[in-house]
Chains A and B, each alone.
Chain A
Amino acid sequence: MASFIIRRLAQALVVLLVMSVLVFAGVYVIGNPVDVLISPDATQAIRQQVIEQYGLDLPVWQQYLQFLQRLLTGDLGRSFVFNMPVGTLIAQKLPATLELTLIAVFFASGIGIPLGVYAGYRPDSKTSRLIMAASILGFSVPTFWIGLMLIMVFAVQLGILPAGGRGATRELIGVPFSFLTLDGWSHLILPALNLSLFKMSMICRLAASGTREVMLTDTIKFARAAGIPERTILRRHVLKLISIPLVTVFGLELGSTLAFALVTETIFSWPGLGKLIVDSITSLDRPVMVAYLMLVSALFVVINLCVDLAYALLDPRLRHGKN
């Protein structure tokens, strides 16, 4: 196990290094930030001074090495636009996004898995067909439209939930969170639901097909022949047997939700990372873009490592390293 983790961490380092090259090169070709940063009527001297100040006159590879050097010391650079350290900037916005996505993903699994298991357990019942049809709707209707509809119905028509914002927050270990207050929850529930619908449908369908397959195996027949109640069979046998693909998708979705909660955050004016990254792209704020993309790759790497460790936890055959 230890050698497995070491190997994975070594791989992760390589991935991050490659990512840093790609990100840096990619951002470099988007455009020259100088054109955006400096007003067009500035003198050539000022132009030159700014360019030198940010090190933009150096060749690309030197800029990259400088960036890498700073990265290793934990310095992500300063935002051109906000003129503050990027680390601080991201740290301000990250908790809101983290809160929203975690709650969305837990909604997705908490509702999606039970519905899916039921639909797979009784594939012919009316309820199951309804669940499966709704799940197709869930991942084919665009997120932004559902978001708008949610606001229309719950905020405009019924007026029971707010249309946007974070609401009242309370601090936990020095960071403000919405889920600790009732008002925060009322602000959280619509965006979280909106963000989770796609994932919920996917997890639901995955759980349904897994359950259908597992229910036909001899393992289940043998359990039934031993007189074990159906509820125990579903809880103890089926859930464990279908868990591996579910964990895979859970991990992938957690990563992509964290990275791309953008649309939902925009619709519900959720003050998260999404807005920051869009702003930084339009203003060509290179350090923010680079830091954000590096953060996302690091998150994916960490989540995938956790997923692999979860496999070993769930399936004893993988734990021993041999089949």
Chain B
Amino acid sequence: MTDLLEVRDLRTWFHTDRGIVKSVEGISFSLRRGEIMGLVGESGSGKSITGFSLIGLIDRPGRIEAGSSIRFGGRELVGLDERELRGIRGKDISMVFQDPMMTLNPVLKIIDQIGMAIRAHEQVSDAEIRRRAVEALDRVRIVEPERKVDQYPHEFSGGMRQRVAIAIALLHRPRLVIADEPTTALDVSVQAEILKVVKSLVAEMGTSLIWISHDLATVSSIADKITVMRRGEIVEAGPVRKVLDAPRHPYTQALLDALPSRSQPGELLASGATEAAGRLDPSKLSGTAVGAPADPQFIQIRHIDKLFQRPAGLLRRLGMQLGLASEPARVHAVKSASLSIARGEILGLVGESGSGKSTLGRILCGIIAPSAGTVSVGGEPVMQGERKRGTKVQMIFQDPFASLDPRRTIFQSVAEGPIVHGLCTKAEARAYVERWLRAVAFDPALANRYPHQFSGGQRQRIAIARALAMQPEVIVCDEPVASLDVSIQAQVINLLMELRRHLNLTLLFISHDLSVVHHLCDRVVVMRHGEIVETGSASEIFHAPKQPYTRMLLDAIPRLAS
């Protein structure tokens, strides 16, 4: 008996009012003691539901169907009652989730949360809880654990919170840990640290690990074997090397091809989703930038500073005079940033969270006013006082779910701006909007639907059409592919490249994903703590970085082992 976990014909179905959703449909796999399995798939593939099925946390109307079998350490888990399952959860099998901001309770101290997890399975004294909490934090390499146990989650950074979550998951030295996208919400450098910590802990404790992720690169850096899921079924399984080097299933091949890091920079990515969306139709598109002369200093950003500070109230100012109160806290988001972008260029702006890259993007777009410095596009300032001038600069945001008004149809969302700014009349709006929707390969017949009826990739294309309809010369893209699956991501990247070529657009592409930036951008600017630390062409930055910070970021990128 070498297998710790043996899953046979697992089927997890959700019995909803509108029919049965077969989230997991007859999958089988096994896991040996100490083995690490990467479970890969895109959203909706059933990979997370598989994880929840293993730990017995399927909520109604979902249930594990009869005939399924999950044998763990020789014991059948399917059909156990809630009390028995609770005895296993956290003790023998534990789980870590995606968003460390959400998993820890914000209103409880770390020590209380650890204490509850310990007391779930053991009777222990308060002193023992403290000793073990400190030990647990120390194990995940949190410095000063004696002090940190008495703090609240909001006093920790994202990466530290995820470490605390991992520490809680490992409290009872479980035999199996299920990690559901544990590093997706984190910066690359933090992700690299977490991967290192998890790898060494798992090896030290002899724990088996199932690492669920949409990111093949991360998975390949930690796992022994890979299982690829699609629409509730396993399409391919095998050792990491074999799956990556010689994928047998076309879906695995497609996933690999869609990765920007696997193709030549600047080339269109192979993407089934792009083909499925149909050809984009750039004909009949007018754009103010088409045919404009080259201008290496098209966008000029000069000595931009941005200070976020709440204005001091009357009482506070009085208190400050008397020396009783201090100035309101302030955040120096951007410090004396200067850069220029040539017409038709794609400039990548990279940095970790809190580096000020989004703030700089918003300043360029004229959404927020800088505290000092000027921004001009084509020689004209973007802002006049506190107000934005013109429609030359548009923006695309990270979350296509949040950036479209759920109560407006696609047509209404896209048409609003052009009508207000006189780019088309109300009567022409229908034809005008259709032209731009076609430009992003979106079927104009669907324009009367609402955003919730579309997938993430479709919504992001709508958001792009909305920006384009304003006939901008510059588009600021703030992490436009961060929340998308790889194949959809490839589709959006392809779209941006095509549009740039046809419409002579200038793009500022803000991203923390360096492989996407490498693929798409001509030049790259690296930001850290509000300052620009390095600027150079994409090949310079990626092949001969000068700054240690840039090098650190590059080293942290998980790569497909080759």
Contacts of A298 in B (CB 8 A): none
Enumerate A222-244 residues with CB–CB distance to B below 8 Å.
Answer: 222-229, 232, 236-237, 240-241
- B55's nearest neighbour on chain A, judged by CB, is A225
Taken together as a complex, chains A and B put the C-alpha atoms of A7 and B171 apart, in Å, by: 45
A41 within 8 A of B: no
Contact A223 B116 (CB under 8 A): yes
A315 within 8 A of B: yes
Contact B89 A224 (CB under 8 A): yes
A172 within 8 A of B: no
A317 within 8 A of B: yes
A218-B105 in contact given A3-B319, A232-B120, A317-B152 (Cβ < 8 Å): no
Contact A227 B87 (CB under 8 A): yes
Interface size on A, residues (CB 8 A): 29
A73 within 8 A of B: no
Contact A219 B152 (CB under 8 A): no
B107 within 8 A of A: yes
A322 within 8 A of B: yes
A42 within 8 A of B: no
Contact B315 A10 (CB under 8 A): yes
A227-B121 in contact given A316-B152, A317-B154 (Cβ < 8 Å): yes
A70 within 8 A of B: no
Contact A219 B105 (CB under 8 A): yes
Contact A237 B329 (CB under 8 A): no
A217-B108 in contact given A225-B89, A226-B89, A229-B120 (Cβ < 8 Å): no
Contact B117 A226 (CB under 8 A): yes
A168 within 8 A of B: no
- A216's nearest neighbour on chain B, judged by CB, is B59
Interface residues on B, range: 35 or more
B497 within 8 A of A: no
Contacts of B152 in A (CB 8 A): 316-317
- A322's nearest neighbour on chain B, judged by CB, is B329
Instruction: List the one stretch of B92-100, B187-195, B221-229, B400-408 in contact with chain A.
Output: B92-100
Contacts of B165 in A (CB 8 A): 222
Enumerate B40-62 residues with CB–CB distance to A below 8 Å.
Answer: 55, 57, 60
Taken together as a complex, chains A and B put the C-alpha atoms of A6 and B165 apart, in Å, by: 39
Contact B86 A229 (CB under 8 A): yes
- A323's nearest neighbour on chain B, judged by CB, is B154
Contact A316 B106 (CB under 8 A): yes
Contacts of B315 in A (CB 8 A): 6-7, 10
Contacts of B104 in A (CB 8 A): 219, 222
Which of B87, B120, B319, B329 is A226 in contact with, Cβ under 8 Å?
Answer: B120
Contacts of B158 in A (CB 8 A): none
- B51's nearest neighbour on chain A, judged by CB, is A225
Contacts of A315 in B (CB 8 A): 106-107
- B151's nearest neighbour on chain A, judged by CB, is A316
Contacts of A219 in B (CB 8 A): 102-105
Taken together as a complex, chains A and B put the C-alpha atoms of A222 and B177 apart, in Å, by: 13
Contact A227 B89 (CB under 8 A): yes
Contact with B along A194-222 (1 / 0, CB 8 A): 00000000000000000000000111011
Contacts of A217 in B (CB 8 A): 102
Which of B90, B154, B316 is A316 in contact with, Cβ under 8 Å?
Answer: B154
A314 within 8 A of B: yes
Interface centre among B94, B154, B168 (most CB of A within 10 A): B154
A residues at B contact (CB < 8 Å): 3, 6-7, 10, 124, 217-219, 221-229, 232, 236-237, 240-241, 314-317, 321-323
* Pairs A–B under 8 Å by Cβ, sample size 28: A3-B325, A124-B60, A217-B102, A218-B102, A219-B104, A219-B105, A221-B57, A222-B104, A222-B168, A223-B116, A223-B117, A225-B95, A225-B97, A226-B117, A227-B86, A227-B90, A227-B94, A228-B116, A228-B120, A229-B120, A232-B119, A236-B108, A241-B105, A314-B107, A315-B106, A316-B106, A316-B154, A317-B154
